[in-house]
């Protein structure tokens, strides 16, 4: 006679629980709140500015300087276990009175929960466009934060290698996803062409090996330092 048993991941649904189903007929505003929101308000109090539920998804607005400890707790606490960072991005509205929102999408795989964290950065010329990095908590934040910096100009304080990832490092036209960025760029087509030709990428890279091949002294100083330190191109 053989015994049968099933392994249950702590915090996950029981084996006999119904399979998850896509919710339907959700209200635009309001509805069930992710229980993590109440847990955050109880623990961090003033660090939680407000909570919204839109189309069934909970967004928690947090105080900028407390973001790091809030994310760390959501990641580490056994009752939360937000073990997956799926995205880091930003939103800028056309209304200049509305702040820029920096957004983190967190998922708790064991608890089947999704939580959106937001930090608002006022566009008043006084509030710095910067937030703490979460790289030390989620290593997957590395390139996500670099992309947000590249496209929006948001600085992630504490990031180990915050530099452009989509645009080239000498790009001087600003941040392409900001609302004030012109569709054709800030420079004329002729100037853009001149800069592209002056960059001379063929002199810098071997297309076969994607390694620096020539003109080392022509590279930007920051890049030369990284390469001297042993960094490989493409990383």
Q: What is the DSSP string of 174-227?
A: --TTSTTS-TT-SS-HHHHHHHHHHH-GGGTB-TTT-SB-S-GGGS-HHHHHHH
Instruction: Give residue 172's pLDDT.
Output: 82
Q: Which domains does the chain have, with CATH numbers?
A: 26-166 (3.30.460.80)
Instruction: Give residue 41's pLDDT.
Output: 97
Q: Which two tokens stand for residue 224?
A: 């030369």
Instruction: Give residue 209's pLDDT.
Output: 45
Write out pLDDT tens, residues 209-218: 445 455 566 6
Instruction: Give residue 1's pLDDT.
Output: 47
Q: Which residue has the higher pLDDT, 170 or 88?
A: 88
What are the DSSP E strand ranges found in the chain?
Answer: 48-54, 57-62, 84-91, 100-108, 113-121, 130-132, 155-157
Arithmetic mean of pLDDT over the chain: 85
Write out pLDDT tens, residues 114-167: 999 999 999 998 899 999 999 999 999 999 999 999 999 999 999 999 999 998
CB 78 within 8 A of CB 10: yes
Alpha-carbon torsion, ordered 65, 68, 69, 72, to 10 deg: 170
Q: Which residue has the higher pLDDT, 90 or 198?
A: 90
Interatomic CA distance for residues 34 and 113, integer angstroms: 7
Q: What's the whole-number mean pLDDT along residues 73-80?
A: 97
Nearest to 124, CA basis, from 155, 94, 100, 149: 100
Interatomic CA distance for residues 131 and 122, integer angstroms: 12
Instruction: Give residue 180's pLDDT.
Output: 85
Q: What values do phi and psi take at 77, rounded to 5? A: -65, 130
Q: Which two tokens stand for residue 195?
A: 């800069």
Instruction: Give residue 23's pLDDT.
Output: 82
Alpha-carbon torsion, ordered 138, 139, 145, 146, to 10 deg: 180
Interatomic CA distance for residues 45 and 98, integer angstroms: 24
Range with top average pLDDT, 17-31, 52-66, 163-177: 52-66
CB 204 within 8 A of CB 219: yes
CB 35 within 8 A of CB 12: no
Query: Residue 29 gets which letter from DSSP?
Result: B
């Amino acid at each position: 006679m053989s015994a049968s048993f099933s392994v249950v991941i702590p915090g996950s649904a029981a084996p006999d629980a119904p399979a998850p189903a896509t919710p339907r007929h959700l209200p635009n505003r309001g509805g069930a709140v992710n229980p993590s929101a109440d847990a955050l308000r109880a623990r961090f109090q003033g660090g939680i500015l407000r909570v919204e539920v839109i189309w069934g998804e909970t967004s928690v607005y947090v105080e900028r300087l407390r973001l790091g400890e809030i994310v760390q707790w959501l990641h580490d606490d056994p009752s939360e276990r937000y073990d997956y960072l799926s995205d880091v991005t930003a939103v800028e509205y056309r209304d200049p009175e509305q702040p820029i929102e920096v957004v983190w999408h967190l998922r708790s795989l064991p608890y089947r929960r999704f939580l959106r964290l937001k930090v608002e950065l006022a566009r008043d010329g006084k509030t710095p466009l910067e937030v703490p990095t979460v790289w030390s908590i989620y290593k997957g934040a590395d390139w996500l934060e670099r992309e947000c910096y590249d496209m929006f100009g948001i600085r992630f304080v504490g990031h180990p290698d915050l530099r452009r990832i989509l645009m080239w490092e000498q790009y001087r036209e600003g941040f392409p996803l900001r609302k004030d960025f012109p569709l054709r760029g800030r420079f004329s087509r002729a100037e853009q062409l001149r800069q592209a030709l002056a960059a001379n990428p063929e002199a810098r890279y071997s297309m076969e090996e994607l390694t620096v091949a020539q003109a080392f002294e022509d590279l930007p100083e920051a890049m030369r330092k990284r390469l001297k330190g042993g960094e490989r191109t493409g990383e």
